[in-house]
Amino acid sequence: MEEGKVLEIKNLHASFSIQKKDYEVLHDISFDVKRNETVCVVGESGCGKSVTTLCVMQLLPNNGKINSGSIILDGEDLTKMDKKEIVKVRGKKMGMIFQEPMTALNPLLTIGFQLRESLMLHRGVDKKKANEMAVEYLQKVGIANPESRLKQYPFQLSGGLRQRVLIAMVLSAQPSLLIADEPTTALDVTIQKQVLTLLNDLKKDMNAGIMFITHDLGVVAEIADRIVVLYAGRKVEEGTTEQIFRNPKHPYTIGLMNAVPNVDADEYEFAPIQGTFPNITEDIKGCRFNPRCTKCIGKCFEEAPETIEVEPGHLVACHLITKED
Amino acid sequence: MDDKKKIIQLRKLKKYFPVNRKQNLKAVEDVSFTMYEGEKFGVVGESGCGKSTLGRVILQLYKQTSGSCVYYGKTINEINPKYIRKEIAKLKTYQENADKNFKKSLVIDAEIEKLETEHSQYDADGSPDDAKKAAALSKKIDKLKLKSKEFKKQASRELREGSRTVGSLILCRDIDKIMELFNKAEDEVALAHDAIVKKNEVKAKYLENAVVLEQIAETGAQLKEVEEAYKKNPTLELEASMRDIKALIEKNRNVDVEALKKVNEELAVKIKSLEDAENDHHEKEMALRDEAFTFRGKDILPLTERCLDPEYQKKLDGNYETGINLAKLTPEEMRYLRRDMQMIFQDPSASLDPRQSCGKAIEEVFEINTNLPAAVRKENAMDLLEKVGLKREHYYSYPHALSGGQKQRVGIARAIASEPSFVVLDEAVSALDVSVKAQILQLLDELSEEKKLTYFFITHDLGVAKHFCDRILVMYLGNICELAPSKELFRNRLHPYTESLLDSVPRLAIGEERKQVEVLEGEVPSAINPPKGCPFHTRCKKCMDICMVEKPKYVEAEPNHFVACHLYDKKEN
């Protein structure tokens, strides 16, 4: 394993079975997350970004399974672990922040109880010490009067504060990988800005990798070091933020960029990607994007494109892009 | 903007939700603005700023606490609301009250004059005892002056209320005669209404027969077409459509075509005569109103000095309301008007019935609002599906079979089915993916141009607001912060809150192009106990002393650019 890599996903294939038939939802996904780096996974709903996180957390529902490939976290392959081993890793080495902070916290228990529980479990400290540490972590995520907040219940906190509490809870286990699944989608723009700034600040002293799932390209520009673009269960493009934003190669990435109304531009014509996102039960031959692509060539309908490295670190899967470019 | 036709005007609209016996949640506070026909009016703000409440109050889904919301899309004569008669009956009281208040103020004025002469006597002397008395007197005079002003204000308030129904005629001595004429005009409106209702009934019968005649002529060819399509591409939708056509052929087998044609000719004559009657009543109504307005400017009561001023009379005429005051309508009248004012919701799957096919959901609108025959309703529903970019076969599909974007299209089709002129879109594209979002916005844009729709577009996505809307209203804690044309708002943001809000939007820029901005600290305070003075002062970086005490006025700081902030009060002075 290369130096500095926290998570390495290699050739991951996953499928869901619906009415006794298997449908592939992830096809040959590979990417990695390095220490002190934020990798954003971008795509429309149904593209497989949440399934990828579930695979990493080993939380797939009963009808889903990983067919092949490996997920290596800190040198250990998660796909080969049994349930007991996974429990020790989950929460400790990898923490997850969910989209809806209200459903992620237990409404019947105080913030303090829930924070202490995590600390006592993962850090092995006693209750008194856990309390002190809980205060410390709440301060770290920018919550004023942490002592009184510990005694409060989730309903007494606003959405932004709840999300901060969740971040504190995840951080308190000192994980090497932080997975954030659309953590700011349910928040207002001003609060979103606060949370993103917080995450950017924490990244420096956390010594962990962040895997950030989102569909908002504005958020991506704010937080990402590298970007992975998924479409219908396939990785269509990967590269650094600089590469993807300045020089997007795949027609889908270009379409996504154009579909977002730019707040700073004076003139803007709405430029949607025509057509609808394919259902997983649909069987599309060749490139999965071909029904919506405006630049299709004959080859696109016959075979799936291979992933090509156009620049160091910039990977694209499209027939239009050849190595010579 | 004066040449544009108004569609909705809000005046000091307030909406409080009671929390307990003593406290209210002040969701919307003193909101006044005007929307024009064909405008895309955007409303932005954080959650809890009252934007959704405002949208619902306009549609009268919530009753407003105070203020008024007047709709100009239809005139009073078209709707014939009941409250107009009540208003006419009240005219005399308005006039009498104004008179009473004015007379009271005159009495006080006389007293003031007396006291003032007394005061001037004391002034001449210089002894300390007199000075004390003079001071007491001047205090008394000030108090009385205030009282007199208050009475005068009340008088002109009464006149203003009356002028909403009859314009400057409220000043005429002959108010009884005017009331009588207006009442008669209302009678004619009611008669015309009856004629319209009857006409619609007859028309429905006529259309039903026409449809049957058309079906007999066309169903054979249609069946062939659908059968061929089914052979090529067998779908459940086509199968259902085939079944429907076959049933129609079976039903029409025993119809006597000739007799039906004859019946329809008779009905056409009847429709024509009812139309004539309707026009007749309208003409009579107009004549009565014209007669009433001949009193304008003649035999004016000298209620206040201003009454005789032609400028003031013109101003009162300007108050004459052709629009409909939504809050005064009865529930039935509002339900009738609701076809004009529709709503599209955020979550398309929650707003569609999972057990009802999409076509039926749209058809229901025609079922409730019109008396079109079933076949026409279905045809219209299919046309609408095509219009919003779906296929005719989607008439038979259920919501679970559609994607989010498609479901939202059905929601839009249902909203425009009743041919509204005003649509409230409550975060209509927020739940959709980026690529689909742009599709739906394009569709909405096309529809607004084609049908001259006015949108009240509630959103928290400022990028969408900037490029979709013509004007944007920024709200904070139930109050208006800023209202400006969208491009202007982004170029020249005046209110500190707008500035922070716009800065918080995640930008697409990377690297050196990124602007470093300050993060807006803190959170929105509770609307139950809003901060005193300017509601934003707790988070504002440019907060001054006055902000904590006094609520800023809503002023036009630059042409067409309204703002409520003390920073811009001073410029005015």
Q: Give the model's pLDDT for residue B572.
A: 47
Domain regions of chain A by residue span: 5-93+175-317
List the single residue in A with minimal CA-CA distance to B461.
Answer: A189
Q: Give the model's pLDDT for residue B90.
A: 87
Q: Give the model's pLDDT for residue B301.
A: 74
- Reported ipTM: the value is 0.82
| Best B440, B510, B541 residue to mutate vs chain A (most A CBs within 10 Å) | B510
Q: Is A110 in contact with A150 (CB distance < 8 Å)?
A: yes
Q: B471 pairs with which residues across the strands?
A: B41, B485
Nearest chain B Cα distance for residue A192, angstroms: 8
Residue A325 clears pLDDT 60, i.e. is over it: no
Q: Is B447 in contact with B417 (CB distance < 8 Å)?
A: no
Chain B: residues touching A (Cβ < 8 Å): 46-47, 403-406, 433-439, 441-442, 445, 460-464, 466-468, 487, 490, 500-511, 514, 519-521, 523
In angstroms, rounded to a whole number, what is the distance separating the alpha carbons of residues B506 and B509?
9
Nearest chain B Cα distance for residue A268, angstroms: 6
Q: Give the model's pLDDT for residue B414.
A: 93
Q: Is B239 in contact with B226 (CB distance < 8 Å)?
A: no
Query: Residue B291: which H helix or E strand, with range?
Result: helix B257-293
Chain A: residues touching B (Cβ < 8 Å): 44-45, 158, 160-161, 188-194, 196-197, 215-219, 221-222, 241-242, 245-246, 255-257, 259-264, 266, 268, 270-274, 276-277, 279
Report the residue from A241, A246, A255 with minimal CB separation from B435. Answer: A255
- Rounded to an integer, the average pLDDT of A172-188 is 88
* Residue of B423, B485, B414, B409 lying closest to B454 (CA atoms): B423
User: How is domain A5-93+175-317 classified at the CATH fold level?
Assistant: Rossmann fold (3.40.50)
Is A263's CB within 8 Å of B490's CB? yes
Is B434's CB within 8 Å of A242's CB? no
Helix axes B236-251, B175-232, angle to 10 degrees: 110
In angstroms, rounded to a whole number, what is the distance separating the alpha carbons of residues B371 and B203?
9
Q: Give the model's pLDDT for residue B34.
A: 92
List the single residue in A with minimal CA-CA distance to B525.
Answer: A158
Report the residue from B404, B445, B500 with minimal CB separation from A190. Answer: B500
Which distant-in-sequence residues (6+ apart) come within 8 Å of A201 by Cβ? none
Is A261's CB within 8 Å of B466's CB? yes
**B434: chain A residues, CB-CB within 8 Å:** 44, 215-217, 256, 259-260
What single-letter DSSP state applies at residue B392?
Answer: G
Rg of chain B over Cα atoms, rounded to whole angstroms, equals: 31
The three-class DSSP label of residue B60 is coil
Ramachandran class of B51: left when φ > 0, alpha when ψ lies in -120 to 50, beta otherwise? alpha
Nearest chain A Cα distance for residue B547, angstroms: 22
Nearest chain A Cα distance for residue B510, angstroms: 6
Planar angle of CA A39, A43, A44, nearest 5 degrees: 150
* Residue of B333, B11, B346, B313 lying closest to B162 (CA atoms): B313
The model's pLDDT over A265-302, given as tens digits with 9 standing for 90+, comes to 888 888 888 887 887 777 888 888 988 888 888 888 88
Could you state, in chain order, the average pLDDT of each consecutive group of 10 residues for chain B (573 residues)? 79 90 88 92 88 91 90 82 87 87 88 84 70 83 89 86 84 85 89 89 87 82 83 79 82 81 89 91 89 80 73 82 87 89 87 92 91 87 90 88 87 92 90 84 91 91 90 93 92 91 84 76 83 89 88 88 85 48
Largest Cα–Cα distance of chain B, in whole Å?
Answer: 114
Report the residue from B47, B504, B508 with minimal CB separation from A217. Answer: B508
The model's pLDDT over A74-85, given as tens digits with 9 standing for 90+, comes to 888 998 988 889
- Rounded to an integer, the average pLDDT of A118-128 is 91
Q: Give the model's pLDDT for residue B420.
A: 92
Residue with structure tokens 């509490």?
A: A165
Q: Give the number of beta-carbon pairs within 8 Å between A and B.
A: 124
* Residue of B12, B540, B545, B569 lying closest to B327 (CA atoms): B12
Q: Give the model's pLDDT for residue A1.
A: 44
Residue A246 clears pLDDT 50, i.e. is over it: yes
**A158: chain B residues, CB-CB within 8 Å:** 523
**B435: chain A residues, CB-CB within 8 Å:** 44, 255-256, 259, 272-273, 277
Q: Is A172 in contact with A119 (CB distance < 8 Å)?
A: yes
| Best B429, B432, B434, B540 residue to mutate vs chain A (most A CBs within 10 Å) | B434
Structure-block tokens of residue B507: 């930008």
**B431: chain A residues, CB-CB within 8 Å:** none
Is A190's CB within 8 Å of B441's CB? no
Is B501's CB within 8 Å of A260's CB? no
Report the residue from B435, B490, B509 with minimal CB separation from A256. Answer: B435
Q: Give the model's pLDDT for residue A211.
A: 94
Q: Give the model's pLDDT for residue A323.
A: 64
What CA–CA distances, in Å, run from B385 to B122, B215, B380, B422? 86, 21, 9, 20
Residue with structure tokens 């709840």?
A: A162
Q: Give the model's pLDDT for residue A241.
A: 92
* Residue of A79, A68, A76 lying closest to A176 (CA atoms): A76
Is A218's CB within 8 Å of B510's CB? no
Is A260's CB within 8 Å of B436's CB? no
Residue A2 clears pLDDT 60, i.e. is over it: no
**A276: chain B residues, CB-CB within 8 Å:** 403, 405-406, 436
- Rounded to an integer, the average pLDDT of A15-38 is 90
In angstroms, rounded to a whole number, what is the distance separating the alpha carbons of residues B456 and B489?
17
Structure-block tokens of residue B168: 């400057």
List the single residue in A with minimal CA-CA distance to B511.
Answer: A242
The distance from CA B235 to its chain's CA centroid, rounded to whole angstroms, is 44
- Report the mean per-residue pLDDT for chain A: 88
Q: B25 pairs with which residues across the strands?
A: B17
